[in-house]
Amino acid sequence: MFIKKVTNNKNGISYLTYRLVKSQRIDGIPKHINILELGSLSDIPIEQHKPLADRIEQLMLEDTLLFYNQDLFIEEWAHFFYRKLVKNCFNKSTTASKNVDNKHVGDLFADDFEHVQPLDNVQQVKLDTFESISSHEIGGEWLCTQAIKELGLDAYLMDQLGWNFNETSVGMLGLLGRLLYPDSEKKTAEWLNENSAAMELYCPESGTVDRNRLMQCAKKTYQDKDKIENHLSGKIESIFKIENKLILYDLTNTHFEGVMKKCPKAKYGRNKQKRSDCRQITLGLLADQDGFVKHSRYYAGNISEPTTFMDVLSELEPCKNGIERPVIVMDAGIATEDNLKMGLSKEVDYLCVSRSGHKDLLEKVNKENLVCFVNKRGEEVKTQFFHQEIEYIVGQEKFTRQETIMYVETPAKEAKERGMFGKKQQGFETGLGLIKKSVNKPQKSKKNKSVERIWERIGRLKEKYRGVGQAFAIDVVLDKQQGHVTDLVWQFIENNSIEPQLGTYFVRTSIKAQDEALLWKVYRTVGEIESIFRALKSDLNWRPSFHQKELNIESHLNMAVLAYFIVSFIRFRLKQNNINHCWTEIVRIMNTQKCNLNSIMNKKGEKILLKTCTRPQMKANEIYQAMKYKPMPFHRKITTLNVG
């Protein structure tokens, strides 16, 4: 075998490619038989072409090297082209068995994975030539592929959005990569080419992917983001027969590790991971009460949460689906008075944590007659209803609506806030100690010991540990003759005004509420959107982002949001069957199912290639049964590699 240079002409432009060929006499005439298209070989020096061809031939003939001194560079490329050759053999056999043209090799939407069989299934083989060539993960890929097909995503891209075969193949491979190996496009491409058997399910004509092709399809997906989200959301609603009476809304952010000069939305802002040193971008999500994403949008990293509410109301319209007055559930950061009244003017009710401390209502709370009920954790929750009128404007007319305010005490929140209060108290006292130490230290300049200077430092300390300073009585000892502070004295007030409020908050809503337990349960659905953010950041590796341009950033992040549609769909059905694994655990279980490629020589000197899929283990099989999916993408594929 040798590598042959071929000159091609396209649109009047000449370019060179290379082929792996072998010489063979046919009817006494020597001819070149094409074995494999190698492409441009731009990364391989021409003097390495002969060793490369020899090594590929050795792999085909199963020759064992007596002395292994092969260049690792050549070895890597030889195995790459050998895998491509093997894949072509299976593709050709598949094409022949299905009687279709090459454009439909590895058809994306074929539900039947036919066995690729040689003409004679009974052959004499040489057992000592048996070799296990490769083993790739296929369980997670097969689970996600069946979910994608059930949601009709791949068919929607081709039939409704006009994507071609290759674009859809690469797009679905990128989505599988985000689901099962969330990383950069470069790492995802390496995983798809080397570790995963995803190419058995979605195979582009080239048989491989690279980071550029993945990024191009991610950008194309982002251009059709709203259409794809509406399709997936509608499909999930129809499958599970969901009625969206509640809409959840919240914001989160992801930070960057670069200067981000090419991204106008990358701004410094309040970072929930305490990475105030990094620029960030903000994601706003609309979801339903079951945790299914309805709509997503990206904002600048420094945007104020309340200012996004106008966009939410405009994007809420397609999510209503015939609901007369949807209820939007949100946290206190978004629920300003203006936003709540704006929602009422648009016929949207609200349910949120009150931003106000309601000191007037705290005095009316009757601790002895609180309504008590038990939450999911078996903890006692205590509540009390209050009512007031809220006034809002529609056009030129003023309207009033009764608002329900519910006082809530929960032991879990109290324990959490008491722990936070304890840490703040400790930090505050440490800061006071440092100020006292500096006051007692002799200094040439008395300016740093002035009363104004000391109270300024105490004020900054109160700002840093906000909410704790009220629990301390602080006094400074002043030397009236010299006019500077000589000592600092403080005392923690046992019966302070802060601690009795720990673990308490107020929930306010414009809907008519009569059952305290039901209203509190409805409000707690806001935890569903928090679980979405946890899955995005933990399971789907949403942060940090290493892209630089705004389009690349949002396209990359959008793939994670689309991946979450698949994650939430699978996990929701599994929960209905009492399987409550997190996504990372589901991927670990499914990765126990492998796709193996084996070879053996027969008596004719032909190499028989056998591609088999292992049977799912017990836990993986339980997941397949719960999803009502096929447990095996295929059982066995057999083809012959003619090495003569």
d(CA 348, CA 326): 6
Q: Cβ neighbours of residue 529 under 8 Å, at least 6 residues apart?
A: 248, 249, 250, 285, 287, 291
Confidence of residue 112 (pLDDT cuts 50, 70, 90): very low
* Contact between 500 and 417 (Cβ < 8 Å): no
Q: Is the pLDDT of residue 516 over 70?
A: yes
pLDDT value of position 109: 46
Residue scoring higher pLDDT (643 or 279): 279
pLDDT value of position 100: 39
* Contact between 556 and 547 (Cβ < 8 Å): yes
Q: Is the pLDDT of residue 221 over 90?
A: yes
Percent of residues, the chain, with pLDDT higher than 90? 34
Confidence of residue 566 (pLDDT cuts 50, 70, 90): very high
Partner residues linked to 254 by β-bridges: 281
pLDDT value of position 63: 59
pLDDT value of position 110: 43
pLDDT value of position 622: 96
Rounded mean pLDDT of 589-616? 90
pLDDT value of position 64: 55
d(CA 340, CA 327): 11
573-589 per-position pLDDT tens digit: 999 999 999 999 999 99
pLDDT value of position 191: 94
Rounded mean pLDDT of 140-148? 96
Q: How do the domains of the chain map onto residue ranges?
A: 2-105, 134-224+580-589, 242-356+387-395+504-548, 414-501, 590-641
Q: Is the pLDDT of residue 119 over 50?
A: no
Rounded mean pLDDT of 220-245? 91
436, two tokens: 């006292």
pLDDT value of position 324: 66
Question: What is the model's pTM?
Answer: 0.79
57 three-state secondary structure: helix
pLDDT value of position 438: 86
User: Closest Cα partner for 188 from 176, 201, 200?
Assistant: 176
pLDDT value of position 120: 57
Chain centroid, CA 312 distance in Å:
22
Rounded mean pLDDT of 298-309? 89
d(CA 350, CA 392): 13
Note the CATH architecture for domain 242-356+387-395+504-548.
Alpha-Beta Complex (3.90)
d(CA 79, CA 72): 11
Helix 583-590 crosses helix 139-151 at what angle (to 10 degrees)?
Answer: 120
* Contact between 218 and 555 (Cβ < 8 Å): yes
pLDDT value of position 104: 40
Rounded mean pLDDT of 163-172? 93
357-372 per-position pLDDT tens digit: 888 888 888 888 899 9
Distances (CA, A) of 24 to 28, 36, 58, 606: 9, 15, 18, 16
Rounded mean pLDDT of 117-127? 70
Percent of residues, the chain, with pLDDT higher than 70? 91
Q: Between vectors from CA 607 to CA 605 and to CA 111, what angle results, nearest 5°?
A: 150
113 three-state secondary structure: coil
* Contact between 627 and 590 (Cβ < 8 Å): no
Residue scoring higher pLDDT (324 or 564): 564
H-helix or E-strand containing 417? Answer: helix 411-440
d(CA 359, CA 19): 82
pLDDT value of position 211: 92
Torsion over CA: 409, 413, 419, 423 (sign): negative
Residue scoring higher pLDDT (27 or 160): 160
* Contact between 178 and 560 (Cβ < 8 Å): yes
Lowest mean pLDDT among 82-96, 223-237, 396-410, 444-458: 82-96
d(CA 558, CA 402): 40
User: Closest Cα partner for 180 from 592, 618, 588?
Assistant: 588
pLDDT value of position 103: 41
User: Closest Cα partner for 172 from 187, 155, 160?
Assistant: 155
pLDDT value of position 93: 57
Partner residues linked to 381 by β-bridges: 373
Rounded mean pLDDT of 29-47? 85
d(CA 316, CA 286): 8
77, two tokens: 């490329």
pLDDT value of position 65: 54
pLDDT value of position 189: 93
Residue with tokens 């006034």: 391
Q: Residue 352, by phi and psi: left (phi above 0), alpha (psi -120 to 50) or beta?
A: beta
pLDDT value of position 182: 93
Partner residues linked to 475 by β-bridges: 489
